[in-house]
Amino acid sequence: MRTYLVTGGCGFIGSNFIHHLFNTYGEDIRVVNIDALTYAGNPENLKDIETRPGYRFVKADICDKDAVRKVFSEEDVDVVVHFAAESHVDRSILHPELFVKTNVLGTANMLNCAKEAWQLEEGPDPLGNFREGKRFLHVSTDEVYGSLPEDGGFFYETTPYAPHSPYSASKASSDFLVKAYMDTYHFPANITNCSNNYGPYQFPEKLIPLMINNALKGEKLPVYGDGKNVRDWLYVEDHCRAIDLVINKAKLYETYNVGGHNEKQNIEIVKTIIDVLREELPDSDPRKAGLSYDLITYVEDRKGHDRRYAIAPDKIHKDLGWLPETAFKEGIRKTVQWYFDHQDWMDHITSGNYMNYYKDMYGNRKEI
Under rule CB under 6 A, which residues in 84-103 are in contact with ligand NAD? 84-87, 102
Which of the residues 143, 175, 205, 306 is marked catalytic? 143
143 flagged as catalytic: yes
Q: Residues 274-313: x/- map of binding to ligand NAD (CB under 6 A)? A: ----------------------------------------
Which of the residues 4, 167, 181, 235 is marked catalytic? 167
Q: Residues 260-279: x/- map of binding to ligand TYD (CB under 6 A)? A: ------x-------------
Using the rule CB under 6 A, is 206 a contact of ligand TYD?
A: yes
User: Binder to ligand NAD among 114, 182, 194, 243 (CB under 6 A)?
Assistant: 194
CB 332 within 8 A of CB 276: yes
**Amino acid identity at 189:** A
What does 229 bind: ligand NAD, ligand TYD, none (CB cut-off 5 to 8 Å by kind)? ligand TYD
224 flagged as catalytic: no
Using the rule CB under 6 A, is 169 a contact of ligand NAD?
A: no
Could you write out the DSSP letters of every residue in 17-48?
Answer: HHHHHHHHHGGGEEEEEEE---TT--GGGGGG
What phi, psi does 139 have (nearest 5°)? -95, 115
- Least distance in Å: CB of 62 to ligand NAD? 4
Q: Which stretch binds ligand TYD (CB under 6 A): 59-67, 113-121, 156-164, 224-232?
A: 224-232
d(CA 140, CA 84): 10
d(CA 311, CA 212): 25
**Considering only CA atoms, which of 19, 144, 139, 42 is closest in space to residue 84?**
139
- Least distance in Å: CB of 223 to ligand TYD? 5
Q: Are strands 29-35 and 189-194 parallel, antiparallel or unpaired?
A: unpaired
Contacts of 30 (CB under 8 A, 6+ apart): 1, 2, 3, 4, 54, 55, 56, 75
Which residues does the annotation mark as catalytic?
A: 142-143, 167
